[in-house]
Amino acid sequence: MKNRNSYYWIFAILFLPFVGCVTYLVTQVLNKRDTEKTQGNLSTIIEPSKKTASSGKVKDLEAQLEFTDTYLNRINLADAYLEIHNYTGAIEHYLVALEDKTQDDFFVKAHLIQAYYAIKDYDQVIAFSESLESYKEYEKSEIPFLYGMALAEKDRITEAEKQLRLMDWPYSNYNERLALAKFLLRIDKTIDAKELLEELHVEMQNLIPTNKRIYKTTIIEVERLKNTL
């Protein structure tokens, strides 16, 4: 009654004392405790690592694509490959998906750019980025950053700076803006770099504690660079 279990347990225990009590203990007490223990320790006992979970997800998506070869199934599988850093697999499926000219290809190409950048294929990053510059979503995505970094790797300095500066929004894009500051130092634009680092320093003083933890490494690097100038 205290645990608000079904009333038939009362009758089972009263009229079948031995069998009723044993059954109740096994099904309602021991099993319940085991379940609560498992749930309470989920993250340390039965939670797989992120990669293991993603690998299981990939196997399911591979089976789905094999069963029904659709655009959506292929994109879902490519995204899952990207998530587990299987960049070659992701690229393969994104390229196949791009063959369907009836679909909006912006986000497919955006993910392709991520994959190509990860494997340091900067020529492909540049080529696909150039094809997306006219899209309205372009400047709100991370493509200008990856495009700019790829251009910098190719020593196309002026073009790289133009793209990287598109990421310079106050109170956002802290990692990207730190990369921009480092790039400005690299090309001897010390005054611009110092100004940007000072802006980052001020903004980061106002971050909430959670974001300060998230950006701890970035904050430390901003302070280190700022103090060297």
pLDDT of residue 55: 74
pLDDT of residue 88: 97
d(CA 19, CA 224): 72
pLDDT of residue 28: 58
pLDDT of residue 203: 97
CA torsion 163-168-169-172 (nearest 10°) is: 110
- In the chain, where are the structural domains located? 1-47, 169-229
pLDDT 10s digits, 119-152? 999 999 999 999 999 999 999 999 999 999 999 9
pLDDT of residue 45: 33
pLDDT 10s digits, 188-204? 999 999 999 999 999 99
Six-digit token pair at 125?
A: 């990053």
pLDDT of residue 37: 36
Per-residue pLDDT band for 17 (boundaries 50, 70, 90) equals: confident
Q: What pTM, to 2 d.p., does this model score? A: 0.75
